[in-house]
Structure 1
């Protein structure tokens, strides 16, 4: 009995150490802030601003939290280390590239007030130092990543990423493409489907993603072609497209999400297209399953302005984890 008790204590210590290490980058960033900065960063877990998100520039849609511009160099480095630890290498790279496009837009427009890579905001809901249930987000122009953390378990949704310009046409970064795989894989898929018209539900794409910045979304009208109706090679292309959206997640989380999709809904996933089927023509696509929705559009600025989003019908803002937490908690 004594031996079992000692083993239990050792196991508890190891688990505690693991949880501490998982949250260590968040705590390192949090503890680098002044009291005034913490007041701006930290919000009550159920604060209404948690689900108020957008992809407009911060000057057009105010964000909760503290901006990158309010951090000193060391604090900024700690934040980006925290962000890096929360995403895959792919996800981190795409995020940094999206933020850096603000410099390109500032150069093109001459408006460095609106187009400012320092105007991305970080907000915590709950406190990782003492709460087992908390969430956080980074938001700004063309970026909204929303994380929910419960006892070290993480969900990330909604996930919005955009790019303007999607392809840089001039200047020192000429030729740079952002979110190009999301576009190229979609075009490759629509143009390889033998019964293309079965997938195309409209000749005219919507101007923007249909769900916009809604706090909660339900499945959209079923359009397009089901995965089980596609040839094997096209099925693989569609799965590759879905994987590109999952690739921004940490590897373990991405694999778990794909396993859930494959076990629950694979054959019923629909791929729908609207607009032109050639690069440079305005277009939109949607991938919808039982539990998730992907939307992509490239319609603005002569089809050089991308919006893309992943929505979880049940899991946006960690709603599924939160519900599970309260159902199993003796404290609520």
Structure 2
């Protein structure tokens, strides 16, 4: 749910006072294409909010918030206390109306889960300010920057962050990329004015649910060598290679354990709109046979990294996904201090583009793809193949369909039908054409289901359909 535009930013009495594909794809050979999500609705919402925000600013303020899309400042972000500042315009320098408009831009990218977490992380910084941290902390010390002109058909970036928060989203012709994404918090929980805050309880609970599910043998196999005092791929590490994947293959775990891994990934991916997160989750689940989970230092949920002891470290890494979670000792306050990073190895900062226009013809429930019969172009054929990651799954879980469409033109709609009804629609982009990518289905009822993927074609290219796949959902 989008929060009211006029909502107040989180503050405490003594704090600073403020008035989304080309899905991560994989081929049978393990080749991974660029990750991003089909997000036309989210893009439109972000563009609308950004235009409304810019309209509230003076010319000088607009110059502060707007950057060239190609600016090298795009990769300049940090999770540290603000100090000398960040890219863009500071919330504390805006009027109440301008602050609300700025946060509406951020809200447009996020789910209710993500909106709540951003609010609470900012509230935590105000709490630190009032608890001895001083003027270097506070919810007014968060910045918003726009890279390029927000438009539904072009490319632009949104950066929002401050202490323990860095959102870097990119939008390109209706597609979205959402990494790097840093979230952290100090303290992990606190109470103010009768309200208890735990902004990262979802991440912590999900991480330790995975770790606690491992047998002694699995835990030993998942151990990552080395000692970790912070996330490895945090701010300022873009040029550094990713460490070699270590740990235990997710596909080697039981179905229940794999579901726990998915739940863990959802704590980061799910901070963004469903339109974005569904594509990312589908891609990452489809890669479980090449994805590892691991831990370092200790598996204790209370490990804080005090003294010479390093706190709990957890990682999920695959062909595209990269998630790190680490415990540190508090800086302003004693107790647990959490840092995390979510990156995508294929698409940090950059969403792919839909290069040509698409058809708007509906695919009929008879599963017959449309055919181009125009006489002014040479008609070419396409092929569509599909497979299920699992042909049998328990009720309440999502099936994942692997798709490959070969077409001479990267355009047109690809629709997934279950029992004759369209349940998912994606655009065939340049990053998807000829590649294997994935779609996550909605939860289905107990029973047997028919799944088919239909590419409806485009100008000069005939449509095609996959064979019918059989899926069984059990209790």
Provide the residue aligned with 1:39 in structure 2.
Answer: 63
Greater fraction helix? 1
Q: Given that residues 180 and 349 in structure 2 are in contact (C-alpha distance below 8 angstroms), is that contact kept between their aligned partners in structure 1?
A: yes
Q: Any idea what the Cα deviations from partners look like across 1:186-216, whole Å, max 9, x if unmatched?
A: 11211221122111224x7411101121235
Provide the residue aligned with 2:86 in structure 1.
Answer: 63
Instruction: Report how many aligned residue pairs link the two structures.
Output: 306
Q: Given that residues 293 and 311 in structure 1 are in contact (C-alpha distance below 8 angstroms), is that contact kept between their aligned partners in structure 2?
A: yes
Per the alignment, do residues 19 and 125 of structure 1 end up closer, same or farther by CA in structure 2, a change over 3 Å counting? Answer: closer
SS at match of 1:305: strand
Rounded to whole Å, the distance in 2 between the matches of 1:323 and 1:256 is 15
Rounded to whole Å, the distance in 2 between the matches of 1:107 and 1:17 is 39
Per the alignment, do residues 109 and 26 of structure 1 end up closer, same or farther by CA in structure 2, a change over 3 Å counting? Answer: same
Rounded to whole Å, the distance in 2 between the matches of 1:165 and 1:116 is 14
Are 2:104 and 1:114 equivalent residues in the alignment? no
Question: Structure 2-normalised TM-score?
Answer: 0.60
Per the alignment, do residues 173 and 296 of structure 1 end up closer, same or farther by CA in structure 2, a change over 3 Å counting? Answer: farther
Q: Given that residues 190 and 199 in structure 1 are in contact (C-alpha distance below 8 angstroms), is that contact kept between their aligned partners in structure 2?
A: no
Q: Given that residues 272 and 287 in structure 1 are in contact (C-alpha distance below 8 angstroms), is that contact kept between their aligned partners in structure 2?
A: yes
Are 2:158 and 1:128 equivalent residues in the alignment? no
Are 2:292 and 1:270 equivalent residues in the alignment? yes
Q: Any idea what the Cα deviations from partners look like across 1:139-180, whole Å, max 9, x if unmatched?
A: 210000011111232211111001011122x65468532211
Q: CA deviation at 1:133?
A: 1.4
1:308 equivalent among 301, 320, 340: 340
Are 2:219 and 1:220 equivalent residues in the alignment? no
Give the greater-gyration-radius structure (CA).
2
**How large is the Cα RMSD of the aligned pairs?**
2.6
Provide the residue aligned with 1:11 in structure 2.
Answer: none
Equivalent residues in 2 for 1:69-148, closer than 5 Å: 69-111=92-134, 113-128=135-150, 132-148=154-170
Q: Given that residues 103 and 117 in structure 1 are in contact (C-alpha distance below 8 angstroms), is that contact kept between their aligned partners in structure 2?
A: yes
Structure 1 alignment gaps of length 5 or more = 1-15
Q: Given that residues 42 and 273 in structure 2 are in contact (C-alpha distance below 8 angstroms), is that contact kept between their aligned partners in structure 1?
A: no
Rounded to whole Å, the distance in 2 between the matches of 1:22 and 1:63 is 21
Q: Given that residues 44 and 126 in structure 1 are in contact (C-alpha distance below 8 angstroms), is that contact kept between their aligned partners in structure 2?
A: yes
Q: CA deviation at 1:219?
A: 3.1
Are 2:349 and 1:317 equivalent residues in the alignment? yes
Deviates more, 1:87-96 or 1:205-214: 205-214
Provide the residue aligned with 1:54 in structure 2.
Answer: 78
Greater fraction strand? 2
